[in-house]
Structures are given as structure tokens and as C-alpha cells.
Amino acid sequence: MKYSKQRKIECQRSLFESIFFVAAGSFVVLLLYFGCDKAISPEKEFSGEPQAEESRENVDGSSYGKEIEEAVSILESEEQEQLQEAAISAAEGCADLYKDIKVLDTTFYQLGQRTKEQRRETVSRMGGLGYVSVSKGINMENYEEVEMFYSRYSDGEEAQVTICDIYGDGRFGCRTFLYRAGKLQVYYVEITWQEGGVPILSHTSVWDLEEIRLTEKGYFIYTNKIKISHGNLREHYRIKPLAEDCRALTEKYISGLSYIDYNLLTVDWNGSNVEDIIMDTMFGDIYHMHTGEYLKVHGGRVDAEIFEEIMTIYFPITIEQLHHCCGYDADSDTYECDLFSVRPYAPFGEVVDYTENEDGTLTLFVDGVWPDYDSDYDSDYAFTNQVVIQSYEDGTFCYLSNVVEQQEMEIPVIKK
């Protein structure tokens, strides 16, 4: 497709430029650049969930000191030291939870990944100790402190609040949001771990903010004054809790889908016109949803057997229809397959309600969240979807239909 080829060229150009900005990750970037159509890489979490908590997810705090010219802190040296000590103290309060922490690289303190339940336990412990704490896919503890901070800021009063973000590998990213003398700023403290659960200060950083906003729905959106290289102009936290059943439904049915690479969520469709939304750019996401692995593609094509097996499970479509709409080649018995992995500005969906229908299907009510649309607009209610799902006993499911309505932003429909 003309559109897909243009997007791939832009993807490669962006990856090539990143070589000059991220020396430490140059090998990975080169691998992506020369193999852009060979494999989809593990997602970079931008605290959607989506990538909506750690800011679809918030960009890893370690990048700030390297990619942004550090601002002059509005805190006194003593105040900075107090925040560092507070972060260490917070981590010490969870040290017993980290006794089994695995340090994979002692030079850079590269840590093994923590399970969601381990992160949840840490967030809960931190909350019980009085800290504002959060992690990807887990509700924020003591979020009222953020509301109080924003209220004081809105009244023109000096204010500060610290949010402790528990990363996937167990590090603590403690962001202190400050408003003082008319200036908005973040003071960042990162804590990592030594073997046996010993917390140590990794590094600190300071950067200025252009603005902050707290939405009625509960998104705390902040705008960096200087855009992070290959990152987000705006980042966010969902501070108000999302019902656990809605979180689970989001994770299972919605989180792996894109609003900008294909039209599954951006046009109205059902079984009668399903061919209209089937695109070669979607198979990588559906494959990952089905297998938990990232798709490897050779020569931009994928074997028909696996393509047809998966697509006929997740959509009400026949093999004959797939032959017609998905670039099938009979000689090689393969389908065209185009993958994208660099999507820092994409909206993401979250299930806010659902209905269990009499016919056994499930209707999900989804809000499209787009906190980094462009330099002027952001929204936690960009558009709404009603997605109907049929679940099967083996754990798989089928997307039966979608109805989308524009709310605060234009729907990003792709022309086939």
C-alpha cells in the first residue's frame, strides 16, 4: 500500500536519526533500522494505557538527563538532598520485597523484570507508607495528593507533590512536581537495587514544564518545555482509579490494538463489511495478542497457514475473503505483512464500562485517550468505541463489530 510504504520510510528515517541521539542504544537502533520489515521489537512503553501509566507509559526517567539540557533547579541544594533521602527511605520501606531482585549487569545495574503482582505489592506497600505510588496497569495510591497539588497550583499558590513510579524492572522513578515563583518544574530521583534488596541512588535530573492539566476524568497531563528526543511532548498519569474489571478487559481486548496503523477501531464495521478493515498492518498486533510473541517477517510476507489460522479466529472472515483483501500470493502461499513499532504519539483505548449481552457476547465501551496529539491539543476523551466481542472456552475471542463516535478529536482513519 502506498500509505504503508510511506509510513515505513518515515519509520526508518526516524530510527536513523536516533543513532545520533542515543549512543548507548545505537546497536538496537541499527538493528531496527536495517530490519524494520523483519521483526517487530518489544514495545517501548509510553504510559499508555495505553502505552495509558508509566506514561503509555511515561518515558523511562533515565533518558531525561541524557536527552534534555538540564534546567537550573528552583530547589535549594538542601531541598534536593531531602528529596533524594526521601526516595531512598521510601525504597527501604520495601526492601524486603526486593530480596530476590536479580541484577543482570552490575556495571549499569540492569535488573530482571518484576511481575505485575510484585509491582502491585510494592505500590500497595508504598501507599500504606503514605507515598503517592503507581505502576503500569495499577491504580495510583494516595492520588488525592496530586489533586491537592493541582488545586493549589490553580490558585496560584506554591505547591509540590512527589509521584513514585515503579518501573517494570523494579526501579523507582520519583518525580517531584514543583510550582514556585510562577515556574513549573520536575525534580527526578531514580533508585535502583543491589543484590539482596539494597536500594541505591542511580541518578537525579531536573527539567522545566510548559504546563500541567488535570482532567475531570482523572488524567494528570504535563507538557515538557523541551521535547524529549524521540519521546513525547506531553506525558501523563491516570491518577483516578479505573475499576479492576475494566483494567482487565482493557488489557485482554484493547491494549494491543492501534488507532493509527489500521482501521479496526476507527470506522464502523460488522460481519457484513469486515473486509473493509482488514489490513496487512494489523497482523503483527493480532499475532502478538494470540501468541504473546513478536512476529518475525521475512521479505515482508508471512506464511498463509499461520495468517489464516489467526485471522479467522479473531475476525468473522473467511479464507476466501482474506485472499481477496490481504495481498495473498498463491505461488508462495503467503500474505503481505507490514509492521510498525515506532508509535510515540498514538492514542490508546481504555475500557470504561461493559455490558454482558444475552447472546453471550460482550460489548465494551472504550474511550480513546490521546494525551499527545500535537503541541496544542490533548484529550482523555478523543473518541468513543463500542466493541462487541465473542469469547471462546479456549481463551481466544473474536472481534464482531465496532461503532466509533468522534468526541473531542478527529478520528484518524486510514485509506486502504
Q: What is the pLDDT of residues 233-278, one digit of tens each?
A: 788 999 999 999 999 999 999 998 988 889 999 999 999 999 999 9
| Annotated domain spans of the chain | 61-241
Query: What predicted TM-score, i.e. pTM, was given to this entire model?
Result: 0.77
Q: Taking the CA atoms of the chain, what radius of gyration do you get in angstroms?
A: 22
Pairing of strands 328-329, 334-336: antiparallel
Which run of H or of E encompasses 191?
Answer: strand 183-194
Each residue's pLDDT, cut to its tens digit, for the chain (416 residues) gives 433 444 444 444 444 444 344 444 444 434 444 444 434 333 333 333 333 334 334 434 444 444 456 789 999 999 999 999 999 999 999 999 999 988 887 666 688 899 999 999 999 999 999 999 999 999 999 999 999 999 999 999 999 999 999 999 999 999 999 999 999 999 999 999 998 999 999 999 999 999 999 988 899 999 888 865 545 678 899 999 999 999 999 999 999 898 888 999 999 999 999 999 999 889 999 999 999 999 988 888 999 999 999 999 999 999 999 999 898 999 999 999 887 654 545 788 999 999 999 999 999 999 988 876 554 556 777 889 999 999 999 999 999 999 999 877 676 767 76
Cα 410 from Cα 52, distance rounded (Å): 19
DSSP-based helix, strand, coil % in the chain, nearest 5: 30, 30, 40
Residue 211 CB: number of other CB atoms within 10 A? 11
Which run of H or of E encompasses 321?
Answer: helix 319-325
